A and B are shown apart, each in its own frame.
Chain A
Amino acid sequence: MEFNESFILGCSAIGAGLAVIAGIGPGVGQGIAAGHAAAAVGRNPGAKSAITSTMLLGQAVAETTGLYGLLIAILLLFVKPLLW
């Protein structure tokens, strides 16, 4: 069966949209990290700077899975591997 270019590009766009659903996970994870960091600062305000840097480190690591989804979306949209 022969598919034309527009059909493949449209399906790539749908796939890109589905791929960035991966952003849900990091959102939840970063929210949990920020919430616990806020609670920790409330309990021990003296350790605020250490808690903040730990929180940012953890959030940036948690962000990775979402970025993988974003990367797939970017590849589908700009590199168009399905047209090769």
Chain B
Amino acid sequence: MEHGILLSASSDIDVMVHGVFKYSFFGHEVWITTTHVCLMIVMIILISFSIVAGSVMRKGTEVPGGFQNVVELIVEKLDGMVDMTIGKNAAKYYNYIGTVFIFILFSNISGLLGLRPPTADYGVTFPLGVLTFILIHYNQFKYQKPKDIWKDMCSPLPPWLPVWLPINVISEIAVPISLSLRLFANILSGTIMMTLVYGLLGWIAAIWPAALHVYFDLFSGAIQTYVFCMLTMTYINNAIGETE
């Protein structure tokens, strides 16, 4: 890194993913990276939260108090968000959207805990985009007739003239890529900005970077989480179509 762009910084400035240890997997060299470690920490937090929430809800009372109130509020808000967008078929997607929302949100704000956010690794966001892609096309084939899908794919021109077909196919493939790149690039840029502030300013960056953390980690992370879930739901809703 002696030619790096961060010449004036102290040498421990770093935004990259690092390998922790490697092992051989069918002859391939596979690395366990910092992303895996941070993902593990996020998952342990989320799983222990869910276990505690489950045990509280199992002996829940009619009039909620304290922790039960918080859990009910979270579930209610998430379900309300799904209801608002998908409408009639919402009940099937409460679990998926809620899980993805909480996971991405915790991953994004895990920068506050001093971790490198797992979503700042394209290997984490791309599978999320691919899941959305699979959901879109599963629903499309489930709820629409093949004739309508073909008509949709040739859309500006009549169905017997599939000139626009390749362009429409490319735009379908672009959906998961743009979804995952948007999330990845937002969180990565926030991480790089915070690293630059801490690395370049040294002891001057004492207390006031907290304000930057509020913007880059909390605000940007929450907005991107909301956008990811919102777009996923909108695409699913489009794929389900207008069949009443």
Contact = CB atoms under 8 A, between A and B. Distances in A.
B237 to A, nearest CB: 14
A46 to B, nearest CB: 17
Contact of A57 (B15, B178, B226): B226
Interface in A3-40: 5-6, 9, 13
B127 to A, nearest CB: 18
Contacts of B224: 60
Range class of the A interface residue count: 10 to 19
A43 B188 CA distance: 38
Nearest to A61: B227
B5 A60 contact: no
A64 B223 contact: no
Given A57-B230, A61-B231, A70 B185 contact: yes
Contacts of A77: 5
Question: Interface size for chain B: under 10, 10 to 19, 20 to 34, or 35 or more residues?
Answer: 10 to 19
A27 B188 CA distance: 19
B186 interface: yes
B151 interface: no
B3 A5 contact: yes
A78 interface: yes
A42 to B, nearest CB: 23
Nearest to A58: B227
Given A68-B181, A70-B185, A9 B192 contact: no
Given A57-B226, A67-B185, A67-B186, A13 B5 contact: yes
A68 B4 CA distance: 21
A38 B212 CA distance: 25
A67 B231 CA distance: 17
B223 A60 contact: yes
B16 interface: yes
27 contacts: A5-B3, A9-B3, A13-B5, A53-B226, A56-B226, A56-B227, A57-B226, A57-B227, A60-B223, A60-B224, A60-B227, A61-B182, A61-B227, A61-B231, A63-B182, A64-B178, A64-B181, A64-B182, A67-B181, A67-B185, A68-B181, A68-B185, A70-B189, A74-B188, A74-B189, A78-B15, A78-B16
Given A61-B231, A64-B178, A77-B5, 11 more contacts: A5-B3, A9-B3, A57-B226, A60-B226, A64-B181, A67-B186, A68-B185, A70-B189, A71-B181, A71-B185, A78-B4
